[in-house]
Structure 1
Amino acid sequence: MVWGFRKPRSKFGSWLDRQGMEQEEFAKSSKVSRNTVSKLCNDKNYIPSPKVMKKIMDTVRKFDKSKTMNDFFEI
């Protein structure tokens, strides 16, 4: 972050921030690449493949069982 400037985050990125979790930590926990997690956090239009989506949502639900795909993605 450069002096208060912050790049807009996706819904997923904002959720990860609220959890206090680093992208690298989520990537390891979900077995999804760090690059993919970065896209999830920063690209509001990115929608992962079904296989990756399952890994992401399985990991998200370890922290918040009430979350659904629709909480993060416009599907």
Structure 2
Amino acid sequence: MFGLGKKRSKFGKWLDRKGISQLDLSKKSKVSRNTISEICNEKEHNPRISTWVKIEKALKRMGYDVNRNDFFDM
């Protein structure tokens, strides 16, 4: 459905499995579509804490319990 044939980060793969679109997450988290795309497609990309907090809050409102350490190397 999503991410067909693209290299994906752990976070991008997780979004694909859950059926969450980058655009939907961008709108709900108020994080730019380009930033969401970078986080999903660049395996070495680690978002700023402030960016992750916005994404995490949006995902929790959507019913997902996420932990930054599951997706990004700290």
TM-score interval (norm. to shorter): 0.7 to 0.9
Larger radius of gyration: 1
Alpha-carbon distance in 2 for matches of 1:60, 1:71: 14
- 1:38 and 1:6 map into 2 onto residues whose CA distance is 15
Query: What does residue 58 of structure 2 align with?
Result: 59
Q: TM-score, normalised by structure 2?
A: 0.84
Which residue number corresponds to residue 31 of structure 1? 30
Give the alignment's Cα RMSD to 1 decimal: 1.4
Structure 1 residue 71 displacement after superposition: 0.9
Structure 1 unmatched ranges of 5 or more: none
What are the residue-to-residue correspondences of 1:40-51 with 2, within 5 Å?
A: 40-51=39-50
Per-residue displacement from partner, 1:24-60 (whole Å, max 9, x unpaired)? 1110011000000000110011111111111111122
Segments of structure 2 that go 5 or more residues without pairing to the other structure are none
Q: How many Å separate the matches in 2 of 1:12 and 1:61? A: 15
Partner residue, 2:13: 14
Aligned amino acid, residue 55 of structure 2: I
Number of aligned residues: 70
